[in-house]
Amino acid sequence: MTRYGVVLFFTNSSVMRAEKLLKEAGYSTKLIPTPREFSSDCGVVLRFDWTDCEQVKLILDTAHLEIDTIHQM
Amino acid sequence: MIYLDNAATSWPKPPEVLKAMTDVLELAGGNPGRSGHRLSIAAAREVYNAREDIASFFNVADPLRLIFTSNATHAINVALRGLLKPGDHVVTSSIEHNAVMRPLRSLEKQGVHLSIVPCAADGSLDVRDVVRVMNSRTRLVAITHASNVMGTILPIAEVASVAHKAGALLLVDSAQTAGTIPIDMPAMGIDFLAFTGHKELQGPPGIGGLAIGDNVDISEIEPVMRGGTGSHSESEEQPDDLPDKFESGTLNLVGIAGLHAGIQWVKDRGIDTIRAHLKELTLALINGLSELPEIKVYGPLDTNSTVAVISFSVHHKRVSEVGLKLDEEYGILCRVGLHCAPAAHKTMGSFPEGTVRLAPGVFTTMDDISTTIRAIEQVIHS
């Protein structure tokens, strides 16, 4: 069974930028509604395969994308 | 019909723009950045892609520094009202549109000190006159890229250099240039670029933006409007994140999609090709009008120093009468009067009567110009 992680961002523009960057780098991602257990905020989070966690963090960090939190689901 | 009012709004629009607008409503018509379902996400993707492409069009590295507004006036207000505090000094030119002049006059009443640098009668600006009014309190120089009345292009890079040497920022109103003259924000030293979508960027009315340069400290700019952003929803305070700080309320998705397609159309056609075509039309207008002794043409009369905006008046004829006859008898549409720029008309000596303004666009042909010259000749001799 695939284990997923989710990245929470502060803004929707950051989510869109992250999705684009990770897609271009060949990673499998999906935008899903923000799970209530992680935030009271509305909108979407970026879901990724947990096995890619380190690479995902590196790509977002290199692009200076401000991340709220990352959780394993 | 010959449409020569492209300085007010460009018409017609490329079919690609109309299609992008209906497509986005049909296929991606959710509220961008608000909900988690597919239509909302599709809308958010379109907004983000547009933000990236428009930022890149002005060579802005960070797309989050591209703020969507409803037009250039709105963008100018976001910058002026957000940045200037009582006691600050701001500098502008004497050929500004009221989009710049009215917010500045209002801020002046609130204690902001305003210097208006006089331009020559042809609209040209001597940068030494800008240097003369700068002082240690100067926070901003706010000027137009080109006059909406006589087309005169101002020396933006030189003014930027003067502003930055004095520790001030530069705001440029690009309503008459974006889409016909290449704008590279960092290379030209522009700190705030206000643009509108519905002129030569070929988009619809109701969409524009403010691009903010990398060296502007966002924390020093107060948002003019506050409200829902889809982010930090737990808080009742406006977020500091970009672009949300300045984008409260549901975005104009249809306008953004149209503007996005319009800019793509401009890029495909080539901004140099567009500029060359407009120069050719402008030159033909200047030459044709200059042969009529009853007519006075304003501005530099040199296509390298102007955009495609020509103003003229007719000896012993009201401009309103000329405009009405051109429309009713010849189907030629232009704009007469003061063009929301009383300062510019005072500078060129045409206040309060105003002028007849002819503004060809990308779809105007040389035949349109010849027909227009003949019609004007007939109107002035009637």
- Assembly ipTM: 0.91
Q: Of the CATH numbers 3.50.50.60, 3.30.70.260, 3.40.50.1970, 3.40.50.620, which one belongs to the domain with range A4-72?
A: 3.30.70.260
Tell me, which fold does domain B15-268 have in CATH?
A: Aspartate Aminotransferase; domain 2 (3.40.640)
- The DSSP code for B69 is E
Sequence ranges of the domains in chain B: 2-10+270-381, 15-268
Alpha helix segments (H runs only) across chain B: 15-27, 38-57, 72-83, 98-109, 127-133, 156-165, 185-188, 253-269, 271-290, 319-330, 342-348, 366-381
- The DSSP code for B102 is H
CB distance B42 to B183 below 8 Å = no
* Type of residue at B355: T
CB distance B243 to A13 below 8 Å = yes
B61 touches chain A (CB under 8 A): no
What is d(CA A48, CA A35) in angstroms, rounded to the nearest whole number?
14
What is d(CA B299, CA B302) in angstroms, rounded to the nearest whole number?
8
Q: Which two tokens stand for residue B356?
A: 């007849």
Sequence ranges of the domains in chain A: 4-72
Q: Among residues B53, B340, B353, B380, which one is catalytic?
A: B340
CB distance B322 to B336 below 8 Å = yes
Question: If you search the block for the tokens 């296929």, which residue do you land on?
Answer: B27
Interhelix angle B271-290/B253-269, nearest 10 degrees: 80
- Let me know the angle formed at the C-alpha of B111 by B107 and B112, rounded to the nearest 5 degrees: 55
In this complex, how many residue pairs, one in chain A and one in chain B, have their CB atoms less than 8 Å apart? 75
Closest CA to B9 of B233, B214, B258: B258
- Percent of chain B at pLDDT > 70 equals 100
- The DSSP code for B5 is B
Decide if B119 is catalytic: no
Q: Please, which pLDDT band fits residue A42 given cuts at 50, 70 and 90? A: low
Mean pLDDT of A26-34: 94
B233 touches chain A (CB under 8 A): yes
Indicate the residue of A11, A34, A42 with minimum beta-carbon distance to B244.
A11
How far does the CA of residue A49 sit from the closest CA of chain B (Å)? Answer: 19
Tell me, which fold does domain B2-10+270-381 have in CATH?
A: Aspartate Aminotransferase, domain 1 (3.90.1150)
Q: Please, which pLDDT band fits residue A50 given cuts at 50, 70 and 90? A: very high
Q: What is the pLDDT of residues B37-88, one digit of tens each?
A: 999 999 999 999 999 999 999 999 999 999 999 999 999 999 999 999 999 9
Contact assignment for A13 to B243 by CB distance below 8 Å = yes
Q: Which two tokens stand for residue B67?
A: 């703020």
